[in-house]
């Protein structure tokens, strides 16, 4: 009797799950990321919302088209694609859709499309069912912040789906999103009075405000005029942008603008924007103040991403791009001051997100991301370097975004801020626009720091801007620092250039990097040549003449950028 029961059990499981030999490990991770501990198996009846990323038809074709439309001098320069054009490159083939759908229905599941091109599907299941479907061990991982995440360290898919399915999420990629702004910062390094011959504008002494940036970078204070020119500001991890703080900021630091200037609000995945002043976020306040306060009169939208999908964070990063890609007219500039350590994502997910950024670039959106605030140790200093190897950050490591590092003023020049994250990707190769700039830097570096960084990877940041400013936060004026300051400042410069381009009947800038690394681009930036970003028991990289992995190509010179664009 006993034997029969066992046999029945075996037969049942053989029918319900595919044979082990037909299942191939699709993604795995050897270690839990820093800060997480494994608490044990996730409750089997716990609901999971999983996403499937289907293989895209012609992503290489999209990359080529993107480079052509973004490289000055190319025949298609500035010819951005429509939503339908992008869809043609990235929609999965019908055989892939059919294979995924029939596999889902064999397993009693049905999925909904999560992206305009149909390359993402989502479905809900339980931990028990997901463990069986993917030969996974979904477990509860506790982060030192108290946040829990349900993840598995490995999963498998049927061999027949290998060429149709890029990845399943959330599985082996962990939440690690950090805002790039320390709330309380050290006093500004520049406190001495300006000597009369100091090239640093007097408005930059005591504290840094939009007036200083206007003088330092030549950013015009004349209001922008094009209503169709949009600047999007990303809000993640329950950071709320406060309208009263923004008004106080404008009244004090931009008295020439209407204090009524404010942002539009867009919610994704149930994202909120509480206006209770004690719930204002320093990051969100900084991001709206240094866009609305610098990109005078450019329409700004604050996009708050909630955690309705699974556990926010990475899901939020996916949902915000899919949301923007679904729009007929996505914003021409998106400023994002959040980053995570590259290794906390799987290589497949990092590539998938990077390809989504390439799609937005092809639509004509310039994507600016802060490089991080931990020097060579990653997004934050508390991130540990394994075996003293440097920790690259994402999305900065993606070649299709513009990564922004930080500088500071030390009389008589602008130098690298020591927290400015920079380095080389372990996932993405050097893009062609960067080959020469990177080689020149590595030749100078020689053997020093050898083995601590990946010499074949994409180098970041691409550019930089001041990383210490004054904001209004929860009703009070205060100092903040971080590449979070630099990112909205650089984004504002691009938005003001776009305003003029659009007024002149020209295309907005879109994906910036091939232009920035061109001869005209390099000439329109101030090269930062001193300072370093210590970490992992080293002094980190040093800023040198030319591109370097701490300040990139340098900081903006508005008039030269405008004239390089024929404005």
Ligand X SMILES: *[C@@H]1O[C@H](CO)[C@@H](O)[C@H](O)[C@H]1NC(C)=O
CB of 185 to ligand X, least distance (A): 8
The active-site residue out of 166, 176, 285, 287 is: 287
Q: How far is CA 266 from CA 51, 226, 233, in A?
A: 23, 20, 10
Length of the chain: 567
Rule CB under 6 A: say whether 31 interacts with ligand X.
no
CB of 104 to ligand X, least distance (A): 32
Nearer residue to ligand X within complex by CB, 365 or 407: 407
Rule CB under 6 A: say whether 478 interacts with ligand X.
yes
Rule CB under 6 A: say whether 188 interacts with ligand X.
yes
Rule CB under 6 A: say whether 481 interacts with ligand X.
no
The helix or strand, by DSSP H or E, that contains position 211, with its residue range, turns out to be helix 210-217
Neighbouring residues of 122: CB distance < 8 A, sequence distance ≥ 6: 49, 50, 51, 52, 111, 112, 114, 309
CB of 257 to ligand X, least distance (A): 9
Binding mask 415-454 for ligand X (x = CB under 6 A): ---x-------x--x------------------------x
The active-site residue out of 115, 248, 484, 486 is: 484
Nearer residue to ligand X within complex by CB, 407 or 454: 454
Q: What is the Cα–Cα distance from 319 to 321, expressed in whole angstroms?
A: 6
Beta partners for residue 341, in sequence order? 393
CB of 428 to ligand X, least distance (A): 6
Neighbouring residues of 190: CB distance < 8 A, sequence distance ≥ 6: 200, 204, 205, 408, 409, 410, 411
Size of the site for ligand X (CB under 6 A): 22
Rule CB under 6 A: say whether 387 interacts with ligand X.
no
Rule CB under 6 A: say whether 279 interacts with ligand X.
yes
Under 8 Å between Cβ of 424 and 457: yes
64 is catalytic: no
484 is catalytic: yes
296 is catalytic: no
Q: How far is CA 358 from CA 86, 235, 362, 374, 399, in A?
A: 10, 21, 6, 26, 9
Neighbouring residues of 84: CB distance < 8 A, sequence distance ≥ 6: none
Angle, helix 83-90 to helix 59-70, in steps of 10 degrees? 140
CB of 454 to ligand X, least distance (A): 4
Rule CB under 6 A: say whether 310 interacts with ligand X.
no
- Which of 5, 6, 75, 186 binds ligand X (CB under 6 A)? It is 186
- Which of 82, 258, 275, 435 binds ligand X (CB under 6 A)? It is 258
The helix or strand, by DSSP H or E, that contains position 85, with its residue range, turns out to be helix 83-90
Q: Is the dihedral of CA 21, 26, 30, 31 positive or negative?
A: negative
The residues that touch ligand X, with contacts defined as CB under 6 A, are 186-189, 191, 206-207, 258, 260, 276, 278-279, 418, 426, 429, 454, 456-457, 477-479, 534
């Amino acid at each position: 009797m006993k034997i029969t029961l066992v046999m029945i059990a075996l037969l049942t499981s053989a029918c319900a799950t595919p044979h082990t030999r037909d299942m191939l490990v699709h993604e795995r991770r050897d270690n839990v990321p820093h800060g997480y501990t494994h608490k044990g198996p996730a409750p089997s009846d716990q609901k999971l919302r999983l996403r499937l990323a289907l293989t895209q038809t012609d992503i290489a074709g999209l990359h080529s088209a993107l480079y052509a439309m973004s490289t000055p001098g190319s025949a298609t320069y500035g010819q951005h694609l429509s939503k339908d054009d992008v869809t043609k490159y990235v929609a999965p083939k019908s055989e892939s859709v059919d294979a995924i759908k029939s596999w889902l229905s064999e397993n009693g599941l049905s999925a909904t499309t999560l992206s305009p091109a149909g390359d993402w599907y989502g479905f809900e299941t339980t931990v028990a069912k997901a463990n069986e479907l993917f030969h996974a061990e979904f477990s509860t991982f506790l982060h030192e912040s108290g946040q829990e995440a349900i993840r598995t360290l490995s999963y498998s898919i049927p061999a027949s789906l290998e060429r149709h399915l890029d990845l399943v999420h959330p599985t082996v990629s962990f939440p690690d999103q950090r805002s790039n702004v320390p709330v309380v910062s050290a006093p500004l390094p520049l406190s001495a009075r300006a000597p009369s011959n100091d090239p640093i504008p007097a408005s930059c002494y005591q504290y840094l405000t939009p007036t200083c940036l206007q003088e330092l970078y030549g950013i015009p204070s004349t209001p922008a005029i094009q209503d169709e020119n949009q600047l999007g500001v990303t809000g993640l991890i329950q950071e709320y942008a406060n309208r009263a703080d923004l008004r106080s900021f404008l009244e004090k630091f931009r008295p020439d603008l209407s204090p009524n200037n404010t942002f539009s609000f867009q919610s994704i995945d149930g994202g909120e924007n509480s206006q209770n002043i004690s719930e204002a976020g320093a990051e969100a306040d900084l991001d709206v103040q240094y866009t609305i306060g610098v990109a005078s009169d450019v329409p700004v939208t604050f996009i708050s991403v909630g955690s309705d999908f699974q556990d926010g964070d990475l899901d939020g990063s996916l949902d915000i791009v899919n949301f923007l890609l679904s729009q007929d007219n996505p914003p021409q500039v998106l400023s994002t001051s959040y980053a995570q350590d590259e290794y906390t994502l799987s290589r497949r997910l990092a590539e998938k997100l990077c390809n989504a950024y390439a799609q937005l670039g092809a639509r004509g959106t310039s994507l600016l991301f802060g490089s991080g605030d931990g020097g060579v140790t990653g997004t934050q200093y508390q991130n540990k370097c394994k075996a003293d190897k440097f920790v690259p950050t994402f999305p900065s490591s993606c070649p299709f975004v513009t990564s922004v590092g930080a500088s500071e003023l030390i009389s008589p020049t602008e130098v690298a801020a020591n927290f400015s994250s920079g380095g080389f990707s372990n996932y993405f190769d050097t893009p062609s626009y960067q080959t020469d700039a990177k080689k020149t830097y590595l030749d100078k570096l020689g053997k020093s720091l050898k083995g601590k960084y990946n010499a074949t990877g994409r180098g970041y940041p691409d550019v930089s801007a001041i990383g210490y400013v004054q904001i209004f936060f929860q009703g009070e004026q205060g100092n903040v620092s971080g590449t979070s300051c630099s990112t909205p400042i650089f984004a504002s410069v691009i938005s003001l250039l776009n305003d003029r381009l659009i007024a002149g009947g020209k295309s907005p800038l879109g994906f910036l990097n091939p232009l920035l690394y061109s001869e005209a681009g390099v000439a329109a930036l101030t090269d930062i040549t001193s300072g370093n970003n210590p970490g992992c028991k080293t002094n980190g990289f040093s800023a040198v003449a030319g591109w370097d992995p701490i300040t990139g190509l340098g900081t903006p010179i508005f008039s030269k950028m405008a004239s390089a664009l024929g404005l």
